[in-house]
Structure formats: structure tokens, C-alpha cells
Amino acid sequence: MQLVQVLVLGAIAGFTIYLGLPLARIRGLSQSVRGVLSMFATGIILFLLFEILEHALEPTEHALEELFEEGAATGEAALLVFMVASGLALGLLGLAIIESRFLRSEPGAPSLQHQRQLALMIASGIGFHNFSEGLAIGQSYAAGETSLALLLIVGFGLHNATEGFGIAGPLTGEQPSWRFLGLAGLIGGGPTFLGTLLGQAIVSEPLSVLFLSLAAGALIYVIRELLNATRRQAGAMTLMTALLAGFLFTFATELVLEIAGG
């Protein structure tokens, strides 16, 4: 494959996130149904959090094992530990600071204002995650593993389609504009293309770990916000069932991709 083809396919893989966004335009939903859809989205995001942490911690743990078992140099291990810690702190505390200073709704403000803010925070967390996925695509291409790069593009593209539901969940019934949904999709999906562009030029495991950790920190904060926003919209059993359904739905898509990829 040529570089231009890889970049175009990387962009497509990111922008499949738009497939789930029209869910936010559904009309006439009751409060309980909206709560269920929001918790379904929370389940999707919870699975993404586990997946992101796994990919961020795996190289860090490997570097620490080499340090203590084989006497490897401490520099790489220390750098990866620093990237994980700083990424989590920036993602989690950064969103908390931004929301408290710039995004907090005024009393009596329309519900749509808060829901839009929440959707943009979700899109930002997913965007950090998708940037790291783009890095993986670009780095695979740079290493000459074009078949792996193509497999990653297909897999991430299918996976990103479910992430659109995660952004749309808190917006259901609020009728956000297509322009706003376009912006949210660009924030969430666009970094896949940017990561692909950077990854084919720079191979950097610490950079990938940093952005994965940023995504994890941001999504931890987002999950907290989603739980607060939906806790009174339906019964606890209904909401937890919806959360579990969202988690298992995303887990099922991940299993299908793993099986298809061999």
C-alpha cells in the first residue's frame, strides 16, 4: 500500500465513529429510556477504559520485569511509569479543572448545555484513545508490516463505530444539531488520522503510552459524570442492566475482531 492509501484508510477508520452519532437525534424518548441509553453508553466507555489501561500498562509492566529480572537499564522503565502516571493525572484532573472553571452550567440553564459538555468530554477522551490507535496503524506501516496496518484499520474502524454510541448516549432526546454532532465526531474520530500521520514518521512507545493514559484518565472522569447524570432517571436494576449490556456489546465486538484477525 502507498502512504496516501494508508492515511485515507486511517481517516476512514476514525470517522466510522459517525455511524453511532445519529442515535442522539431520536425524538420523543422518555426520561427512563434516555437513562437506559446513557448507561448503555457508559458500559461501552467502561469497556474502553479497561482496554486502554491494558494497552498502556502492558509495555510498562514488561519494562519493569526486564529491569528487575534481567537488570535492564532503568531509563525506559522509569519513562514509561512517568508517562502512565502523568497521562492519568492530566486526563483526570485536567477535565476536572476545565469543567469547574469553564464548563459548569449556570443554575436553570438548559439540560442540553450540560449534555453537550458531557458529550464533548466523552469525545475528547475517545479522541486520545483513537490517536494512540492511529499511532499503531502508522507505526505498523513504517515497519513494513502493511498487512498488519490494514488489519488494524479494519478492526479500529469497526470498533470506532461503537464509540459513536458512547458519545450519543447522554444526548439522546435532546435533539443536538447536526453541526454539533459533526464537531463531536471530529474530536473523537479525527485523531485516528492524525495518529496515523505521525505514527508513520515517528515510532515512539512512550508517546503511545502517554496518550493511552490521557484517554484513561479522561474516561474515568467521564464515567463519574455519566453515573451522576443518570442515577435518578430509572431504577438501579434497570440502569445496571443497561450498563452491563453496553459493556458486553463492546466486548462482543472485540471478540469478533480478535477471531477474525486470527
- d(CA 183, CA 43) in angstroms, rounded, equals 23
Residue 31 within any structural domain of the chain: no
pTM reported for the whole predicted model: 0.74
Does a structural domain hold residue 188?
A: yes
Question: Is a pLDDT exceeding 60 seen at residue 99?
Answer: yes
Binned at pLDDT 50, 70 and 90, residue 183 comes out as very high
Asked whether residue 147 is domain-assigned, the answer is yes
Listed in sequence order, the DSSP H helices in 99-201 are 111-142, 146-168, 178-199
Q: Is the pLDDT of residue 110 over 50?
A: no
Per the listing, cell 448545555 goes with 113
pLDDT at 182: 92
Is the CB of residue 236 less than 8 Å from the CB of residue 35?
Answer: no
Cα–Cα distance for residue pair 27/172, rounded to 1 Å: 8
- Residue 155 neighbours by CB under 8 Å, 6+ apart: 257, 260, 261
pLDDT in the model for residue 73: 62
Residue range 154-176: average pLDDT?
77
State whether the Cα torsion 246-247-249-253 is positive or negative: positive
- Residues 173-187, mean pLDDT to the nearest whole number: 87
Provide φ and ψ at 144, rounded to 5°: 85, 5
Residue 107 has pLDDT above 80, yes or no: no
Q: Which of 172, 199, 182, 202 is nearest to 42 (CA)?
A: 172
* Domain assignment of residue 29, yes or no: no
pLDDT digits (tens, 9 = 90+) for 116-164: 888 888 888 888 888 878 887 887 777 777 776 776 777 777 777 777 8
Is residue 145 domain-resident?
yes
Give me the phi and psi of 172, to 5 degrees please: -60, 135
- Report the SS3 class of residue 10: helix
pLDDT score for 241 = 93
pLDDT reported for residue 82: 92
Residue 203 belongs to some domain of the structure: yes
CB 127 within 8 A of CB 188: yes
Cα distance between residue 27 and residue 49, in whole Å = 30
The widest CA-to-CA distance across the chain, in whole angstroms, is 63
Residue 165 has pLDDT above 70, yes or no: yes
Stretch 4-23: mean pLDDT:
84
Residue 214 has pLDDT above 80, yes or no: yes
Residue 44 lies in a domain: yes
pLDDT of residue 167: 84
Domain of 97 in residue numbering reads as: 3-24+37-261
Domain count, the chain: 1
183 domain-assigned = yes
